[in-house]
Amino acid sequence: MTEHYNRRNFLRGSAVAGAAALATPAIAQDSGETLKMQAAWGGGIFLENAQSFAARVNEMSGGSLTIEVLSVDAVVKTSQMQDAVHRGVLDAAHYVPAYWYGKSKAASLFGTGPCFGWSSQEVLGWVYAGGGQELFDELMENLQLNVVSFFNSPMPAQPMGWFKEHITDASQMQGLKYRTVGLAADVLLEMGMSVVQLPGGEIQPAMKSGLIDAAEFNNPTSDRDFGMQDVSKHYHLASFHQSQEFFEVTINKDRFNALSDEHKAIIKNASMAENSGFYWGNTKRYSDDLVKLQEADGVNVYRTPDSVMAAQLEAWDVVTARIAEEDPFFAKVMESQKAYAKDVMNYLNLNQPDYKLAYNHYFG
């Protein structure tokens, strides 16, 4: 993405920019397999991430398996993507579980659940090594969904977001009309906010028109592409509302099972490789764009106050206890996560030095 990114196309879901970007990756050999994967992204860095995953598969297979990336709304609306994969209308989809958690609030635990002192890296560790994948597969069986899913791309904690004023205390959050998605909506409602769930491209216009008072999406790069700096100059980093998230690549189960063992392994290992590629590449882009927001766009950047984050943790306790009482599977997943986080984070917290101490030593 260049500095002259066409924001108007981005906000519309960008059939123009998306088509131009997507024309290159994926011409299958006549004898090869092709999977059509619709992304939930119309442009920007997340669409690039979907293309990166597809490119890994295409390159590793030598052209015998091709993933063709389709832009947002190319075949169905984002809210219909999982059902479209289930029915075979789409071969695959690239999105996040928070976009379909309406079917089961347990879905939000696979990426946007409560923070047990861990980051996206450790949640993915739970998926790969702590029984998380098996629990997700069980959820798919319970919901009778004909899909298989792979998780990748550990996202840094999402900012609390953009506000009309500098937030210094949790009391300022009361009554604010705020955009978020997934289980975070329940948490912020518990904190006294009024929550609106909007797709990414509608956030900036909604804040500009006064439909919402504050908003988050995901990261400084996407926020800058959306033009959030044009409707607010107060950007708050750090939050527990969505402190760990990653992408879900979901594939029609019949279509996946029909692939060769080699092609199945390529998809699995391309997903794992994307964990590193995403984190290394995106964190550099995010940090560069945060500097641009400050120096070029005049945005004031703050760390969300501890009082807000403490209130979030308390709200998480209330919300998850309420849901767990009603949904035994939700409780089962959460207990598995807590057991993993307790042991892994005990080791990491004891072993990791204070990196901020070292940072301040060199940079102040």
**DSSP-assigned letters across all residues of 141-160:** HHTT--EEEEEEEEEPPPP-
Q: Give the amino acid at 68.
A: E
Q: Cβ neighbours of residue 25 under 8 Å, at least 6 residues apart?
A: 51, 54, 55, 58, 68, 69
Residues forming the annotated binding site for Na(+)?
217
Binding site per annotation, positions for substrate: 158, 179, 216, 242
Report the DSSP pairing between strands 147-155 and 177-179: unpaired
Q: Are 111 and 96 in contact, with CB atoms under 8 Å apart? A: yes
* Binding site residue list: 158, 179, 216-217, 242
Question: Please, which residues have CB within 8 angstroms of residue 45's CB and are 6 or more apart in sequence?
Answer: 1, 219, 221, 222, 225, 282, 285
The C-alpha angle 137, 142, 144, rounded to 5 degrees, equals 90
Rounded to a whole number of angstroms, the CA Rg of the chain reads: 20
**DSSP symbol at 232:** -
Return the closest-CA partner of residue 35 out of 264, 277, 276: 264
Beta bridge partners of 70: 38
